[in-house]
Amino acid sequence: MDNPDTRGLVLVTGATGYIGGRLAPRLLEAGFRVRVLARNPERLRDVPWAGDVEIVQGDLLEAETLAEAFAGVDVAYYLVHSMTGSHGKTSFEDSERRSAENVAKAARGAGVGRIVYLGGLHPEGVELSRHLRSRTEVGEILMASGVPTAVLQAGVVIGSGSASFEMVRHLTEVLPYMPAPRWVRNFIQPIAVRDVLHYLIGAADLPNDVNRTFDIGGPDVLRYGQMMNGYAVEAGLPQRPITPLPVLTPRLAAHWVNLVTPIPRSLAMPLVESLQHECVVREHDIDDYIAAPDGGLTGYRRAVRLALAKMNDGEVETSWQDASVADAASDPLPSDPDWAGHTVFTDDRTRETAAPPEKVWAVVEAIGGENGWYSFPLAWSVRGWMDKVVGGVGLRRGRRHPTRLNTGEALDWWRVEKLDRGRFLRLRAEMKVPGLAWLEMSVDPTDTGSRYRQRAVFFPHGLAGRLYWIAILPFHGVIFSGMARRITAQAARGMTS
């Protein structure tokens, strides 16, 4: 940084997530020095602000890895929350509790001046869902840490790429008539992501004696059904008739959301559970400490307009997809020598083409999403729906940008695990399979053009994994060979364009 002594050092946890990935660059703009904690720093390699922050590797579940991250920190932002279930044999509640306790201890030991936590807005006097209970408990642990803590409690966050916005968007766009759960009649106070970031940055300057929760919300209180039709108006769609149904339990509603939208059931469940009760701001005490943004808080319809504009311009800064939904498969692909002693299945394809490497790479990096997978679209579509039926992510997550990928981001049912732009791409599968799967694509120059190599790798889990590979083996000759052939053909066509 050019001026290292501007407004102190802040630590951002969850910088690979939706809110943290937007907060870090804005803290830099506000004059702070920024350090980010990441379990896998490689996932931050391609973000535009990576060179302006200090990146420290660590895991909130492993207390011994946190000392370096918290040393010398003035303000620590806790922006990590599991929305996708358990971590191995440990429930997500236990994991969240342990993470919060580790952060509280590390912050206290390092003499951190303030903790800022983004929690969930919730009503009083009702039985909360597991996820809202967990978020409430995390806030209580941090406030009891001995470090002054501000817990900002927000409800539905509206912004390009937010899970809540994507749920509203897809439900409205896909269904011209909506039989819906009763919670569509509940009142909700959404807040624009830009206003969430405003309050998070402002919380860094709260007085030292402030140790409490604050409700934050936008200026509009709406029924969920009104939010969907407000989206329809901004998107140029007819307003949708909505019929509340009393029979849809949260579990059934989450499965319905999973099938209709790109959001997997594991993420749809906590979103749906958070909508079971009316959720509005009960106090406005934050106004006594942090002034509203210039021009006032962002109304719901304007927040939708801004989000749609970002999407149309291909400028979605972060997305709910940035958070992995397959913790069990988050380990990177082992190197080839480590395969000794392990059962592994591979499918290798190599093709030569007269197209130069840059033309082939342009096709590779643009793969997926609206561009498709260059092979047997029906088979990919069927496999995507099969994944959806069992609660997986399916193919409809798409991609954030039509032609450019970054390390760590989602690509349909894959995650970009390794990217050497212009030469090599490795995708890790996040679909529901009895094992771990990767797809690699590489491009190398030759004397006459380039060589394209494609390799699928599968580590089966038990007998089910082996039977799965055998069952899909007949399709590989069609899918993977066709994929390699069409990618190189597309590159060759690009030579004349």
- Distance from C-alpha of 287 to C-alpha of 263, rounded to nearest angstrom: 34
- Distance from C-alpha of 201 to C-alpha of 336, rounded to nearest angstrom: 45
- Distance from C-alpha of 385 to C-alpha of 305, rounded to nearest angstrom: 30
DSSP SS3 for 274: coil
Q: Which of 139, 70, 81, 134 is nearest to 108 (CA)?
A: 70
Alpha carbon separation from 465 to 258, 379, 395, 432, 436 (Å, rounded): 25, 20, 21, 11, 9
Contact predicate 248/374, CB 8 Å: no
pLDDT given for residue 319 in this prediction: 84
pLDDT given for residue 329 in this prediction: 45
Helix then strand count (H, E) for the chain reads: 13, 19
pLDDT given for residue 341 in this prediction: 59
pLDDT given for residue 372 in this prediction: 87
pLDDT given for residue 263 in this prediction: 78
DSSP string covering 114-162, please? Answer: EEEEEEE---SSSPPPHHHHHHHHHHHHHHTSSS-EEEEEE--EESTT-
Q: Which residues of the chain have pLDDT under 70?
A: 1-6, 82-90, 246-248, 323-332, 334-342, 376, 378-380, 383-396, 496-497
Q: Specify which residues 188 forms β-bridges with.
A: 222, 279
pTM of full prediction above 0.85 = no
Which domains occur in the chain, in start order? Answer: 9-322 (3.40.50.720), 327-494 (3.30.530.20)
Contact predicate 454/443, CB 8 Å: no
